[in-house]
Structure 1
Amino acid sequence: MAESRPQRLWIAFGGGADQGWMRLLRPGFRHCFAALRDEDGWTVLDPLSGRLLVTRLAVDAGFDLPGFWRRAGCRVLGPYRPGSPARAWPAVAPFSCVSLCRALLGPCAPFALTPYGFYRAMEKIPHKQENVLDDGGMIG
């Protein structure tokens, strides 16, 4: 179904620390979350402590969600095309905001454990109008 309806993916990084241990992470990069845009609108995927929040936003399909997040103080990367399913065993890692965003990008997403490490790894990849991760890195 997802392949028949083109989607684009944006990843946002924010700085709130709703858990005490999150204060150990770099300010401004204590959490990351994602949004998928299709022809009908936006779906936000936000891995919160202990649960995954998936919300279909009740906004116009043309709403500028990445711009809204930027105005709210988040750093936003994208658009990307969601990656293809992995053809090998998944990596053994705890579920986190970073692991969710990496899973959305696909098996060739850069490895990172923290939101800041993930942001830095993604920033090193050349940006084009439309990005997709594959074995050769980012392509348009």
Structure 2
Amino acid sequence: MSRHLRTAEPAVFLGFGGAATLPWQRLLAPGFRHCFAGLRDEAGWTIVDPLSGRLHVTRLPAGPEYDLPGLWLRAGFAVLGPYRPVAARPTALPGLAPLTCVGVCRALLGPGAPFALTPRGLFQGLIRQDNKPRKYFLTNSVP
């Protein structure tokens, strides 16, 4: 996770954790039973927490300099970010994925988000994506 929280550029941070509060959540990996997001913009923070049966969105009364990811880390959550939100691309077919915490977090990340069905799958996909070596293409020769 980046510790550079001085700038107020739009950014998405993802938190992973949670206990099994519902019986079906016991099928998910411990520590990766839920995911949620914090969106930082020039005015502060918005938390998007997709819960079972509802979507909870909260605007925090804190400025963009507040270290929300650090708070999540101290609370025992795994945190990834910052990711820059990207504009959606027009698609021929709408997404047919169910509305889950993973689906909402992937939607916040945009079209470049890795495919995942579980919070742990999303976490691992983002780690792989972050550690993937970047390809550089030179289109012009250097004199």
TM over 0.5, yes or no? yes
RMSD: 1.8
Does residue 30 of structure 2 align to residue 30 of structure 1?
Answer: no
C-alpha distance in structure 1 between counterparts of 2:51 and 2:81, whole Å: 21
Q: Structure 1 residue 50 and structure 2 residue 80: aligned?
A: no
For 2:113 and 2:29, the matched residues in 1 are separated by 21
How does the TM-score come out when normalised to structure 1? 0.83
Distance 2:119 2:28 in 1: 8
Indicate yes or no: 2:67 matched with 1:92. no
Partner of 2:85: 82
Report how far residue 90 of structure 1 moved.
2.7
Q: Which TM-score applies when normalising by structure 2?
A: 0.81
Paired residue for 1:104?
108
Q: What's the offset of the Cα at 1:6? A: 4.4
| Equivalenced residues, count | 125
Segments of 4+ in structure 1 off by > 6 A? Answer: none
Q: Is residue 63 of structure 2 the alignment partner of residue 60 of structure 1?
A: yes
Q: Distance in 2 between matches of 1:90 and 1:64?
A: 35
- Cα deviation for residue 126 of structure 1 reads 2.4
- SS of the residue corresponding to residue 130 of structure 2 reads coil
Q: Displacement of 1:106 after TM fit?
A: 0.7
Identity of aligned residues (%): 55
Q: Could you list the runs of 5+ residues in structure 1 that have no partner in the other structure?
A: 128-135
Q: Which sections of structure 2, spanning at least 5 residues, go unmatched? A: 1-7, 136-143
Q: What is the aligned counterpart of 1:120 among 117, 120, 124?
A: 124
Greater share of strand: 1
